Amino acid sequence: MNPLLRVQDVSKVFGDGSASVNALSHINLEVYPGDVILILGPSGSGKTTLLSIMGGLLHPTSGKVYVNSHDIYQLSDQELSRLRSREIGFVFQSFNLLNFLSVRKNVEVMLNLAGVGGRKARERASEVLSQVRLDHRLDFSPKNLSGGERQRVSIARALANNPKIILADEPTGNLDSTVGRVVVEILVRLAREGGRGVVIVTHDSRILDIADRVLQLSDGTLVDGTPNGAYETSLRLAQRAGAYNG
């Protein structure tokens, strides 16, 4: 079974000379279908930088990122934009919704960017909003939703083009523990049922138990924080190879 996402020896340096900062150092990571991976670290540890590089938003200083075997930083800007819109879904802490559009229209925008419009876009938007249990809020403005509902809209938007990779940046950061739990459980369900790979960067230790792997980002280096991580990971991958092959 091939990984959906592979980060190979990625480093990121900001600035030059004596003012340079090593944000990431020789990061390696593979994400397989059904994986839910948490990357923990305090603010300023490089979590968002890593997620941005994984998602094709920020070029690494060195190293490679593969999405479905494509070396994404060897693509043209147009090719990378197309791959990003179809293969990767982003979930942000701040929701990034447009209050002047309805809930359904917020999701339709992502489909429009991928060249899907009209009735097909409306039906797909309704479908993914139903998956996150918001089919009763289609015509609401996001400003009239609760924080948890807005985050669920952002998850539906991330699902619009049926990507196999979902990258979530502090998705529980603006939510209380109960609502945050509901949100991450939706992400887990999407990984399990759809064979997606989900990577969540967070400093929220309340959701550690939902993950297959817990990684710690410290001084720009990624280390495995899962108990018995190597054995448990190899066992899960072997089980999933049977579940997702074919």
Average confidence score pLDDT of the chain: 87
Which of 32-36, 50-54, 199-203 has the weakest average pLDDT? 199-203
Nearest CA to 51 out of 7, 107, 86, 94 is that of 7
Tokens of 111: 């489909």
Number of domain units in the chain: 1
Residue 226 pLDDT > 70: no
The confidence band for 230, taking pLDDT boundaries of 50, 70 and 90, is very low
Q: With contact defined as beta carbons under 8 Å apart, do 63 and 10 qualify?
A: yes
Query: Which range of residues forms the domain containing residue 190?
Result: 5-244
Residue 74 pLDDT > 50: yes
Give this prediction's pTM.
Answer: 0.85
Q: What is the DSSP string of 11-65?
A: EEEESSGGG-EEEEEEEEEEE-TT-EEEEE--TTSSHHHHHHHHTTSS--SEEEE
Query: 18 or 29: whose pLDDT is higher?
Result: 29
Half-sphere exposure of 142 (CA within 13 A, CB side): 23
234 by Cβ neighbours in 10 Å (0-12 / 13-18 / 19+) ranks as: exposed
Tens of pLDDT, residue by residue over 39-49, are: 998 777 889 99
What local confidence, expressed as pLDDT, does residue 180 receive? Answer: 86
What local confidence, expressed as pLDDT, does residue 140 receive? Answer: 96
Query: 180 or 233: whose pLDDT is higher?
Result: 180
* CATH number, domain with residue 17: 3.40.50.300
Residue 238 pLDDT > 80: no
Residue 231 pLDDT > 70: no
Instruction: Kindly state the average pLDDT of the residues 231-245.
Output: 43
The confidence band for 242, taking pLDDT boundaries of 50, 70 and 90, is very low
What local confidence, expressed as pLDDT, does residue 42 receive? Answer: 79
Please give the Cα distance from 125 to 104 (Å, whole number). 6
What local confidence, expressed as pLDDT, does residue 103 receive? Answer: 96
What local confidence, expressed as pLDDT, does residue 43 receive? Answer: 78
Instruction: Kindly state the average pLDDT of the residues 93-105.
Output: 91
Which of 91-95, 105-109, 198-202 has the weakest average pLDDT? 91-95
What local confidence, expressed as pLDDT, does residue 245 receive? Answer: 42
